[in-house]
Amino acid sequence: MRLRNVLGTLGVTALSVLPMKAKAEEFKPYNQLSANVSAHMGGTEGFSDIYGTAVMFGGSFGRVISPNLKIESGVSYLSKSGNPYTASFGDADITDASAHTSSLEVDVGAYFMVPTEKVTFYAGGGLTHIGFGEELSLSGTIGGQHFNEDISVSEGGWGFMLAGGVEMPVSPTVSVFGQVSYKSAKILDGQVQVGGTNIGGGLRLGF
């Protein structure tokens, strides 16, 4: 009887601990701060001909609200001078040229996450606003006539963005990630498409 009573007491004690352990292991939402750098291949017609591959810097703030869902907002910026001589301007004979572009992108989106033992895969999308600027200066001749042309564009537009990547923790609060994203928006009354593809990575801090 005494042995049975002792075993019964131990069993009740073990069962009472289980809910506390499960509660301790419950998921708790947390925040993320990210910094990233990426190679930008522009979606604007002729962008790659003039500017090649640009470098874009960015940062974001996110809220992981479940093991499989995160919401995030971010901002990215690039600024680069280009070589218009590599672009085609019809029959014009270009003797002097310069070009500069900039892009400020603000995003908000949601991501579905698939955590594994070592890494977390994620994919999602949302809205983007792209503020695009470009200055182009050309001098030369066409049909025997000399010309000087200065073109400046500064306008923003709303569009969509898609992104996916993989994240790997390096400490309890810090992780590294690689990501591919695509963004597209229209400016100038829908006549010009801006955005493009970004391939890069960075660091994330969870808190």
In a domain, residue 60? The reply is: yes
On the question of pLDDT at 17 being above 50, the answer is no
Report the C-alpha gap between 176 and 124 in whole angstroms: 18
In a domain, residue 179? The reply is: yes
In a domain, residue 22? The reply is: no
Strand (E) positions, the chain?
A: 30-42, 54-66, 69-82, 93-115, 120-142, 145-169, 174-187, 192-206
What are 87-107's pLDDT values in tens digits? 656 677 777 888 999 999 999
Enclosing domain of residue 126: 28-206
Query: What pLDDT was estimated at residue 30?
Result: 97
In a domain, residue 21? The reply is: no
CATH number of the domain to which 107 belongs: 2.40.160.20
In a domain, residue 2? The reply is: no
State the pTM of this model: 0.79
What are 153-202's pLDDT values in tens digits? 899 999 999 999 999 999 999 999 999 999 999 998 888 899 999 999 99
In a domain, residue 14? The reply is: no
CA 40 to chain centre: 10
In a domain, residue 139? The reply is: yes
Query: What pLDDT was estimated at residue 159?
Result: 97
In a domain, residue 37? The reply is: yes
Query: What pLDDT was estimated at residue 181?
Result: 97
On the question of pLDDT at 72 being above 60, the answer is yes
Query: What pLDDT was estimated at residue 84?
Result: 78
On the question of pLDDT at 205 being above 60, the answer is yes
Report the C-alpha gap between 199 and 180 in whole angstroms: 5
The domain total for the chain is 1
